[in-house]
């Protein structure tokens, strides 16, 4: 393999890897759906989309990852929880 061939191969490999990474992230974002009330984990964790516990909501829980009205949660992997929501796993954000 000449040096030019090796360089071309590396460029193609890098572009492919970036494409796969971006594509995977996009698919993951599209796949994220809100946690449903009848989701077995939601039932087990007593998740509600509107917290009834003063001072405790997903938005100030250490497991919440997001700034918008919905975000990710370390417990509900791959799904979105409401910023105003709550579950039994609530832990104060440090
Ligand atoms: S652990 Fe519970 S309270 Fe905390 S962000 Fe997730 S769903 Fe909300």
The per-residue pLDDT for range 70-94, each reduced to its tens digit, is 999 999 999 999 999 999 999 999 9
Within 13 Å of residue 34, how many CA atoms lie on the same side as its CB? 12
> Residue 17: pLDDT band by 50, 70, 90 thresholds?
very low
Place of tokens 């910023």: 83
User: CATH number of the domain at 32-94, out of 3.40.50.2300, 1.10.10.10, 4.10.490.10, 3.30.365.10?
Assistant: 4.10.490.10
**CB–CB of 53/86 below 8 Å?**
yes
What residue ranges do the domains of the chain occupy?
Answer: 1-31, 32-94
Please give the torsion angle defined by the CA atoms of residues 25, 59, 42 and 45, in that order, rounded to the nearest 10 degrees: 130
- Distance between CA atoms of 60 and 90, rounded to whole angstroms? 9
Q: How many A from CA of 87 to the centre of ligand 1?
A: 5
Q: In this model, does residue 16 exceed pLDDT 50? A: no
For the question of whether the overall pTM of this predicted structure is more than 0.95, the answer is no
- Which is more confidently placed, 40 or 14? 40
70 lines ligand 1 (CB under 6 A): no
CA of 33 to the centre of ligand 1 (A): 15
Greater confidence (54 vs 31) lies with 54
Residue 45 to residue 85: CA distance in whole angstroms: 12
């Amino acid at each position: 393999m000449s040096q030019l061939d090796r360089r071309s191969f590396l460029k193609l490999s890098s572009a492919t890897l970036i494409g796969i990474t971006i594509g995977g992230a996009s698919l993951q974002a599209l796949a994220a759906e809100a946690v449903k009330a009848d989701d077995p984990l939601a039932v087990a964790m007593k998740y509600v989309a509107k917290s009834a516990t003063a001072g405790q909501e997903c938005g100030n829980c250490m497991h919440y990852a997001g700034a918008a009205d919905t975000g990710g949660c370390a417990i509900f992997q791959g799904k979105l929880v409401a910023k105003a929501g709550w579950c039994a796993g609530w832990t104060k954000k440090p």
